[in-house]
Amino acid sequence: MGPRPSALCKQAAAVLAAALLVVGSAGCTGEPRPPDPAPTEPDRSAAFALLEAFSDRMIGEGAPAVLIDVRYGGKAWTHAAGVRNLETREPATASDPVRVGGITESLVAVSVLKLVAEGKLGLDDPVSRYLPEFGSVLHPPGPVTARQLLTHESGLPDFTDPLLASGPWEQVTARRVSLEQQLALAATVPWEPRLARIFNYSRTNYAALALIIERLRGQDIAQVLATDTARPLDLGATRLGGPGLPGMVHGYVTVAGARLDASTPEWQAEAPSSGAVSTLPEVNRFYAALLKGELLPPDSVTAMKGGYLEYYGFALRRWNNTCNNRFYYGLPGDTDGYGTIAMTSEDGRTQLAMAVAYPPEPPTLGVNPLISELTDVSQDALNHLC
């Protein structure tokens, strides 16, 4: 006959008490609890592999050089392939100067917004208030404001169409074209009236803005950009106009079967739409400072970003940032011989700038389709960094 239930209960209680004693003793005298494992670093190799593969393809298709500068989590990743110059074959580096094309417009927009913050310029004032000759030269179909110039919603014709159609590329691009001449060239193209404001890119918009800046500052646009942005941020290679910089990456075009150097086109010496030279580290430093509020008051930075549903603010485009469901801001830059893209997260901490000296091809009045590829691969790579 087995033990009675009461005896079984007593035995179970004794076993449990002994077990608790052992556990308690181990807790006092045993090894300490191991620490939680440290968080692992995200694998960002896919982002860099995307960029390297794109670079390899561009070089394989005849691009003289590809430069990339990435900033993330307080770190930097850079890449350079190809050469600075097809004649000397000197290897390119990631910090070599390049022509940055339309990124120039972001620099100009900062100078415009500084005037607005100082109360010297009203965004919704008619342009003719600051440029009395605007109406008599261009004959706009209706009032045009500085805001419409900034957002490319004025409908102003692009002066480069008649300029580049006026003669052989090598002759046309060797001529210096002043801001006043840029407006005069635009005046030779009919200004089509529009029922609604829509985005219609025209380099003449920024020629008019640069003239306004010059009138209000009493300095030429290159000096103003240096004062407002380059010197405060110590951007020693960033400038509008002037001779080519040492170590500059040369871009090329092919005209009538001949390869021509496009690195120092005189017509862009005073082109506030596309004439700046910079390095990718300096381009990233500029956009980080801008988005962190180091160049403009917060409301001006917000205005530059544009509304939530707007494609293009004040010289800032935006792309989806899937890391935090927000946006990257920056601009693409497309010009003869060069394509550049810059994207920066809203907090200024995650950035990518890439420049390609295009495979030498005939110049076009339109946009080189490679700029879309630069943009897509850059956005994809940034979204692999999180």
Mean pLDDT in runs of 10 for the chain (386 residues)?
Answer: 43 41 42 54 87 98 98 97 97 97 98 98 97 95 95 95 93 95 96 83 97 98 98 97 86 95 92 96 98 97 87 92 95 96 97 98 86 97 95
How much is the pLDDT for 125? 97
* Token pair for 294: 């180091």
| Global pTM value | 0.89
How much is the pLDDT for 77? 98
How much is the pLDDT for 32? 60
Rounded Cα gap, residues 202 and 190, in angstroms: 13
How much is the pLDDT for 45? 93
How much is the pLDDT for 4? 44
Q: Which CATH class is domain 45-382?
A: alpha beta
List Cβ neighbours of 178 (8 Å cut-off, separation of 6 or more). Answer: 270
How much is the pLDDT for 41? 60
Question: In the chain, what are the domain boundaries?
Answer: 45-382
